[in-house]
Amino acid sequence: MAHEAHKAIARNSLLIKSLPEQHVETLLSQASWRHYERGETLFLQEETAKVIHVVLDGWIKLFRMAPTGSEAVVSVFTRGESFGEAVALRNSPYPVSAQAVTACEVMQIPAQVFTSLMKRDPEICVSILASTFTHLHSLVAQLEQLKAQTGAQRVAEFLLTLCDDEAISCDVTLPYDKMLIAGRLGMKPESLSRAFTRLKTAGVVVKRNHAEISDVSALRDYAEADPAESWSKS
């Protein structure tokens, strides 16, 4: 049986917490709970999607291989985030591959469990739409950040997504491979390093794979400041 702490994380994930409460235990009871070591593959591009994934701990990357053999990171996911909903519910092939970039704990919910509940209770459909909309909104926000924010501000926004909503200070765990973060934020690794250096003025100290944020409010102010002000401080 899954550890209760993992169940609590699953219940608070975006996908699960939006569901009608009477269905949550049904989903948790029929889910599988998997541990992946760093470098292990969850699935490969073009495999048929049959489960929805919820990350309980660690980091997972989604990527595509170009014809040249180079790897393009599409996205990275961490605790409380879900992925694969749309393709799993359609029983379609994965458009990407997934790999654990740290040791990970993952909950996998069979898509057929969801579809069965959806046929019985339309509220499930609304919850799935809400989750899908949030993924879309995240992609739109990333595009907006690329055009409207400096590199350091994009890193600040990324760190804020890893903090608890009510936290005053925070210590977040990052992947050892910082290129994953750079890829997600549309930056070069050297630009990411410079961004972390600039964020020291906002109370961020990076040590190996940990970012210590002394003042979450100050970091949020930095992320939301007029970019012209940030450039003047670069």
Confidence class for position 66, pLDDT limits 50, 70, 90: confident
- 172-205 b/e with 16+ CB inside 10 Å = b? bbbbebbebbbbbbebeeebbeebbebbeebbbe
Q: Average model confidence (pLDDT) for the chain?
A: 83
Q: What is the pLDDT of residue 214?
A: 92
pLDDT of residue 232: 52
- Token digits of residue 154: 């994009």
Return the closest-CA partner of residue 135 out of 219, 52, 216, 203.
52
Predicted local confidence at residue 35, as pLDDT: 95
Phi, psi of 119 (to 5 degrees): -70, -30
Residues linked to residue 27 through DSSP beta bridges, in sequence order:
none
What interhelical angle do 189-198 and 151-161 show, nearest 10?
A: 80
Tell me which residue has tokens 């049959």: 50
Bridge partners (DSSP) of residue 119 are: none
Position 4 scores a pLDDT of 76
pLDDT the model gives residue 60: 94
46: left (phi over 0), alpha (psi -120 to 50) or beta: left
Domains 4-145 and 149-233 alike in fold: no
CATH number, span 4-145? 2.60.120.10
User: Domain limits of the chain?
Assistant: 4-145, 149-233
| Cα radius of gyration rounded to whole Å, the chain | 19
Which CATH number applies to 149-233? 1.10.10.10
Cα 198 to Cα 189, 193, 226, 233, distances in angstroms? 14, 9, 16, 9
Cα gap 48→88, rounded to integer Å: 8
For the segment 45-64, the average pLDDT, to the nearest whole number, is 92
At residue 229, the pLDDT reads 56
Q: What mean pLDDT is predicted for residues 114-122?
A: 84
Q: Which of 28-37, 92-101, 151-160, 178-187 has the lowest mean pLDDT?
A: 178-187
pLDDT tens per residue across span 174-231 = 887 788 888 778 788 889 999 999 999 899 999 888 899 999 999 999 888 765 554 5
pLDDT at residue 43 is higher than 90 = yes
Taking only the tens place, the pLDDT of each residue in 120-163 is 888 777 777 776 676 666 666 666 655 557 888 889 988 988 88
